[in-house]
Amino acid sequence: MKPGLSAGTWGGGQYNEIISCDIAGSTYGLRLGTGTGPGQTGANAWHIYGGRFYRNTTGIVIAGSSGSHISSTFEKSSGVGVLFAAGAESCSVTASYFEGNAGGAVRFDAGTRFNVESSNSYSNAEDTVLDNDGSNFSLTPFVPSVPAMYTGIGAGLNLIPNGSFEVDSNSDGIADGWYVPSGTVPGASFGLETSPANVKFGTKSQRFVYTPPLSQRNLQLDLSVASGQWHVFTGWTRIDPNSTSRFSLRIGINGGDTSYYYSGSLVTTGMWQLHRGAFLTTTTALSIYVYEQDVTTPGGPFAIYLDGFKLEPGIVPTFWYERNLITSATSLGSALSAAGTDVTIAPTHSIHHVIGSGRIKTIKVPEGFVGELTLIPDGGWETTTSGNIANTVTATNKRPVRCIYDPVTAKWYLAA
């Protein structure tokens, strides 16, 4: 195959406009700058409207270019429809149509920034958007088979509990809400990760490691949802450098099903990868599944980290935020009860009254919490060290108890 047009090699090919072209069967339909070498960059301020880029390897490559804008049709590329390569800055692809581009619809590579894709129409499952730099803007919800009607932006409600993977109440290494069908086996291990490079939000992420050969074991979350409702999923994964093609992320009606979202075999290493997809539910049950791609070929250990999972009604994703006491001002929650023996209390605010004269064994850690909260005793309760409290105190009625949580020791330290 031959190249189509290459603006960069013309040098200084700026302020040009292409209207209603038809470019097919090329290695690239149009190339704006190569991004390397003198005279090969500076293909700035191009405008391409109403073009049809059909069966090229790559529809358009934007490398050394700024301020260029594309609104066209990209069909059946064997590679990517529109590729933003290193050197692309402040360019846009908008109101464009993508159908059956095998390598994805739009990809932003490392070294690109401030580019935007918006209001595009993605027709098929392979017409994905991937931002490998993280410095670009992806504003089109990914919706295979364009919906006839959608519900628009939601209220930001996250249907996934513990979506920041901060809480593991039973300390088995699996974040609250998730489970391993049929139980774990030797060679598969789970833990809440605290290494900063492997944590995207808050202080922890979910770590999932396996070492083949072993029996297939996957990590699963089941949710109840409204049937017939558009939902949009957002989540982040990161895999270890040796773990290419060893995991996939799936969302469907039950475990392993890919009806709603399928990441493909994850291959991007060394960075967090954003997953985003909108889908119309057809049932009231839904499962999110982290899948081991190959459990028979010996190797590993292979590791994946999960963080910032959000499922919200509607089709337009809202911003991620950490729902925890760190983001709240000092505030008074409803009274908690310490009536009984070995009680668990679950604070949601920085100050609570605690009624009763029993014994507190566990203070549930609010999602992502580090620091101090205060309990006001309405009764003479005490604490035991058999749970997550480091020291025993006997509360004096009406005298506030300071509670300091240290995530390193995973213990509360109390001053009565």
Q: Please report, as residue ranges, which positions from 232 to 291 form the binding site for Ca ion (by CB under 5 A).
A: none
Candidate residues 172, 194, 285, 297; the one interacting with Ca ion per rule CB under 5 A: 172
Candidate residues 170, 296, 334, 341; the one interacting with Ca ion per rule CB under 5 A: 170
CB of 309 to Ca ion, least distance (A): 9
Candidate ranges 159-167, 252-260, 264-272, 352-360; the one touching Ca ion (CB under 5 A): 159-167
CB of 406 to Ca ion, least distance (A): 18
Closest to Ca ion by CB, 88 or 175? 175
The contact pattern for Ca ion, residues 307-336, with x = CB under 5 A and - = no contact, is x-----------------------------
HSE of 399, CA atoms in CB hemisphere, 13 A: 11
Closest to Ca ion by CB, 28 or 201? 201
* 174 scored as a contact of Ca ion (CB under 5 A): yes
**238 sits in which H/E element:** strand 230-239
CB of 414 to Ca ion, least distance (A): 25
Candidate residues 77, 112, 164, 287; the one interacting with Ca ion per rule CB under 5 A: 164
**Spatial distance between the Cα atoms of 35 and 406, rounded to a whole number of angstroms:** 49
* 350 scored as a contact of Ca ion (CB under 5 A): no
Write the single-letter amino acid at 14. Answer: Q
| C-beta separation of 362 from 340 below 8 A | no
CB of 338 to Ca ion, least distance (A): 24
Find all residues with CB under 8 Å of 185, minimum gap 6, and list them. Answer: 214, 215, 217
* 193 scored as a contact of Ca ion (CB under 5 A): no
Peptide bond just before 213 cis, omega within 30 deg:
yes
| C-beta separation of 351 from 373 below 8 A | yes
Closest to Ca ion by CB, 239 or 315? 239
**Spatial distance between the Cα atoms of 95 and 181, rounded to a whole number of angstroms:** 43
For 356-402, give the DSSP string.
SSSEEEEEPPPTT--EEEEEEEES--EE-TTSSBSS--BPPTT--EE
Q: Please report, as residue ranges, which positions from 291 to 310 form the binding site for Ca ion (by CB under 5 A).
A: 307
| C-beta separation of 251 from 288 below 8 A | yes
> Contact positions toward Ca ion, by CB under 5 A?
164-165, 168, 170, 172, 174, 201-202, 307
